[in-house]
Amino acid sequence: MPFDITPFQARRTRLLQTMQAAGGGVAIIATAPERIRNRDAHYSYRFDSYFYYLTGFREPEAVLVLVAGEAPRSLLFCRSKDIEREIWDGYRHGPEAARETFGFDEAHPIAELDEQLATLFANQPAIFHSVGYDSAWDARVTDALNRVRAMARSGAHAPALIRDVRSLIDEMRLIKDEAELAIMRRAADISGGAHRRAMRATRPGAWEYEIEAELLHEFRRHGSQAPAYSSIVAGGANACVLHYVENDALLKDGDLLLIDAGCELDGYASDITRTFPVNGRFSGPQKAAYELVLAAQAAAMAVTRAGAGWNDPHDAATRVLAQGFIDLGLLEGSLDGVLESGSYRQFYMHRTGHWLGLDVHDAGEYKLAGEWRPLVAGNVLTIEPGCYIRPADGVPEAFWNIGIRIEDDALVTADGCELITGSAPKSVADIEALMREA
């Protein structure tokens, strides 16, 4: 299938227009460096999300430069074509093919970047740069800026302002376009299938890592390049550790298994959590706690729509959970009292969601001018209430070591939200039926 440059060109045009509205200047956005894992072996390469969002270019050692003004330009600096290196490392586009394939106005060898930066910066009002994210890049930009200043007697002037380019791109990334949503729906579908596969494979006596292997197999065989984050496969008490990733314990009859796992597809993350019984049947206390978390998620979904505040889903879920903790005998007092004191945090200590996109915890601020930002159509976020009941004085023993989280990915619409991860079963009846069939 031919590469579609249209969405990437449109994003570059939008950023150039935003830069021009701010007074113009030059933006410089670099991709991620390659990283050594040990000795001379590298980690699998993953491009920088900001760079990829604007380019679609996946090779390392690449930089995008955007020049805003009366004649806006997009320039790519990338590795030169090198047949000898391609024998060892694989295909390289080279500047000419990259320019044609990805729709840049110009493309140059990456070796020429430092030499050209001063010329690109000269007589510009501002530099748009990821200030403070990478000290080496801060130094390169400062060096180029000082070389422009040294050209003052020849009539050149240096940019007077340095602006944070990521803050501009963050606002763009918060609203997904159709190209992004198509990929995210596919990623969600693959991940939903992986969770179904994991449920079918789970049984007492299996190991957490065996179930993780089922997830990874399903991700890869459907074209996902990698997990979007380290998979959490947490049986029994391990489910009460929010970021448990050892995945090396034996699964026991009578325990629950919490799986928080999602694939990455073409750069975009999915993020699903499901919790289910190892033996395929919820006990009474497990079912009561599970139905509570499911009700909290439903309450959060009901208020997730364009115009709602970011925190509205969290507040809705928290009210349901706090009342449920009282009803189950985990907490004492009134609902208002439990909420005001924060005692519910013994069992629910995290937020109910986060932005989702090219990063699993995606770009974008949650507050504007000190107020929770309003949701708008095109936002994608997770909705993930939970409860984590550790052994403690006053906690009925029947609930000890029950850890539950239910997480879905939601697209905000004008009148509600669309769950794009609905293919993963989550009702008690559906989960038990699937595991019974397996």
Query: What confidence tens digit (pLDDT) does each residue in 335-365 have?
Result: 999 999 999 999 999 999 999 999 999 999 9
Q: Which of 97, 149, 94, 85 is nearest to 121 (CA)?
A: 149
**243 is an active site residue:** yes
The one catalytic residue among 351, 354, 373, 390 = 354
- What's the rounded mean pLDDT across residues 306-333? 98
**430 is an active site residue:** no
The one catalytic residue among 214, 218, 255, 384 = 384
**40 is an active site residue:** yes
Whether 248 has a pLDDT exceeding 70, the answer reads yes
Q: H or E segment at 103? A: none
The one catalytic residue among 350, 351, 373, 390 = 350
Amino acid at 62: A
Whether 389 has a pLDDT exceeding 70, the answer reads yes
**222 is an active site residue:** no
Q: Which two tokens stand for residue 434?
A: 């699937």
Ranges of beta strands (E only) in 292-383 are 367-368, 371-372, 380-383
The one catalytic residue among 180, 214, 407, 432 = 407
Contact 277, 302 (CB under 8 A): no
Residue tagged 């997770």 (tokens):
382
**Gap between the Cα atoms of 27 and 131, Å rounded:** 11
**361 is an active site residue:** yes
**180 is an active site residue:** no
Whether 264 has a pLDDT exceeding 70, the answer reads yes
**388 is an active site residue:** yes
**133 is an active site residue:** no
pTM for this entry: 0.96
The one catalytic residue among 96, 246, 361, 365 = 361
**415 is an active site residue:** no
Q: Which of 301, 341, 291 is nearest to 321 (CA)?
A: 291
Percent above pLDDT 70 for the chain? 100
Measure Cα distances from 194 to 133, 271, 320, 376, 404 in Å. 35, 12, 29, 30, 19
pLDDT in tens, 112-164: 999 999 999 999 999 999 999 999 999 999 999 999 999 988 899 999 999 99
φ/ψ of residue 362, rounded to 5: -80, 170
Amino acid at 126: A
